[in-house]
Amino acid sequence: NSLTQVVHSAGRRFIVSPVPESRLRES
């Protein structure tokens, strides 16, 4: 369950985590 983090120059932090399989197929 890898988490990656990107901090934008304006200071906002974006944390990326895998989308739970169940949510991907849900439309």
Partner 1 sequence: AEDTGVRVELAEEDHGRKSTIALRLWVEDPKKLKGKPKDNGAIEFTFDLEKETPDEVAQEMIDSGFFHENDVKIVAKSIRDRVALIQWRRERIGPALQ
Tell me the β-bridge partners of 6.
Answer: 14
The residue with tokens 């932090």 is: 13
| Residue 24 near partner 1 by CB under 8 A | yes
**Polymer length in residues for the chain:** 27
CB of residue 3 vs partner 1: minimum separation in angstroms? 9
| Residue 26 near partner 1 by CB under 8 A | yes
| Residue 21 near partner 1 by CB under 8 A | no
Pick from 13, 22, 21, 24: which is nearest to 4 by CA?
Answer: 13
Using CB under 8 A as the criterion, which residues of the chain lie in contact with partner 1 when the complex forms?
4, 6, 8-10, 12-19, 23-24, 26-27
